[in-house]
Amino acid sequence: MKSVLSKSMNCILAVMILLFFGIPTVYAAEQPAAKAKKIVMASPFAPLVMPMAHILEEGLLKDVSEEVELVTWNTPDQLRAIMTRGEVDFVSLPSNVAAIFYNKGVDLSLARVSIWGVFYLISNDPSITSLAQLKGKRILVPFRGDQPDLLFQAICRAQGLDPFKDFTIEYVSSPLDIIMSLLAGKVDNALMIEPAAAMAIMKAKGKGLHFTRVIDLQKEYAALVGNDSGVPNAGVAVLPRIKNNKAVVDAFLAAYDQSVQWTNEHPKEAAELAARHIKGVNAKAFEAALQYTDFRSVSGTDSRKDLEVMFNKFIKMNPKSVGGKLPDSGLYQ
């Protein structure tokens, strides 16, 4: 009897050892993941820098990475380098540019769309309230064949206007070129993007010139598509080198959502933060720009319908603007 009891106790003990000491092996994935050595974020000259700067300065990724860096890009060539060298983990960029790189084979995912409105037509004639009033006028437009230009063209055509016959369109390489021309007294009307619109208006005032935002392209676009969800302009892509590190990606996206909310709730502090990371734009311009920026963090998956509406309109005018075709579901996270 004693022998039987002893054997039974040994069996129970063996099962307990197997359960308690086997669990870490069976559920190894639940153990705290090793910290990444370094996470690199990249942002353009835009309000998009604010959440990333907040993540950096508040140390919101300290639990998943030993070091966090924020770099900025200003030109398409710089962005292409970021996308192809594999040195960056998360990048803020226009939504259609994310589609271009995805369609070219870059294994990225558009995880957040956070800018839903930054496009305005500014003029030194405050009486203008519609595009029709600008017929026959010269309008400076940045980024030919890209998002601002295509958005403007689509809105014009929906209103029965021919952008190339009813206006004198003059393309420039960037909004900064428009600011320089404006300060030289060579501009009356221009399509602008925040914070460049805020900068232009403020700098013009210093020169005794008075420009205002006369047309809100978000409202014009809402009439075109039949809803007021906004223009899904830009957001954040998760790049290949970090895409499969779920712990880091989840931590970043939670921090990003938190930081977008903080930006909206603390515009003055967010503007000061952005000015420290983007040279050439003062805090007052960033703060003014936030008043005219629709800033909200929406997942790529939840943004897909709005993105596809916009992408389809762009494809009709310039298929290259989204990489030649509508991206499949793999783009959206």
| Amino acid (1-letter code) at residue 68 | V
**Local structure of residue 33 (DSSP, 8 states):** P
Sheet holding 234-238, edge to edge: 68-73, 39-44, 90-94, 234-238, 109-115, 295-299
Domain with CATH 3.40.190.10 in the chain: 39-116+232-331, 119-225
Instruction: At 39, give phi and psi (nearest 5°).
Output: -110, 130
* Whether the Cβ atoms of residue 91 and residue 315 lie closer than 8 Å to each other: no
CATH of domain 39-116+232-331: 3.40.190.10
How far is 180 from 172, CA to CA, in rounded Å? 11
Q: Please tell me the predicted confidence (pLDDT) of residue 21.
A: 35
| Bridge partners, 90 (sequence order) | 41, 238
Which tokens in the block code for residue 178? 């428009």
| The pLDDT of residue 32 | 57
Q: Residues 6 or more apart from 282 whose CB is under 8 A from it?
A: 275
Q: How many C-beta atoms lie closer than 10 Å to residue 51's C-beta?
A: 30
Q: Are residues 306 and 229 in contact, defined by beta-carbon separation less than 8 angstroms?
A: yes
Element of type H or E holding 40: strand 39-44
Q: Cβ atoms within 10 A of the Cβ of 318, count?
A: 15
- Which pLDDT value is given to residue 272? 94
Provide the CB-side half-sphere exposure for 306 (13 A, CA).
24
> Which residues 6+ apart lie within 8 Å of 333 measured at CB?
109, 110, 111, 238, 299, 300, 301
Superfamily assignment of 119-225 in CATH?
Answer: Periplasmic binding protein-like II (3.40.190.10)
Global pTM value: 0.87
Q: Burial, 206: exposed, middle or buried (Cβ in 10 Å; 0-12, 13-18, 19+)?
A: exposed
**pLDDT value for 45:** 79
The rounded distance, in Å, linking the Cα atoms of 272 and 266 is 10
C-alpha distances in Å from residue 293, one per residue of 2, 149, 172, 259, 267: 80, 18, 23, 15, 11
Per-residue pLDDT of the chain (333 residues; tens, 9 = 90+): 444 434 443 433 333 333 333 333 333 344 556 789 999 999 997 889 999 999 999 999 999 999 999 999 988 888 988 888 899 999 999 999 999 999 999 999 999 999 999 999 999 999 999 999 999 999 999 999 999 999 999 999 999 999 999 999 999 988 889 999 999 999 999 999 999 999 999 999 999 999 999 999 999 999 999 999 999 999 999 999 999 999 999 999 999 999 999 999 999 999 999 989 887 778 999 999 999 999 999 999 999 999 999 999 999 999 999 999 999 999 999
Q: What is the DSSP letter of 165?
A: T
| pLDDT in the model for residue 219 | 97
- Residue ranges of alpha helices (H) inside the chain are 2-26, 49-58, 76-85, 95-103, 147-158, 175-183, 196-206, 217-225, 240-243, 246-265, 267-277, 283-290, 300-317
Task: Please report, as a single letter, which amino acid is at residue 22.
Answer: G
Cβ atoms of residues 89 and 39 within 8 Å: yes
CA dist list (Å): 87 to 39, 111, 284, 312: 9, 18, 32, 32
Phi, psi at 112, each rounded to 5°: -145, 140
Q: What is the dihedral of CA 240, 241, 244, 246, to 10 degrees?
A: -120
Q: Which two tokens stand for residue 284?
A: 């007052």
Pairing mode, strands 212-216 and 119-123: antiparallel
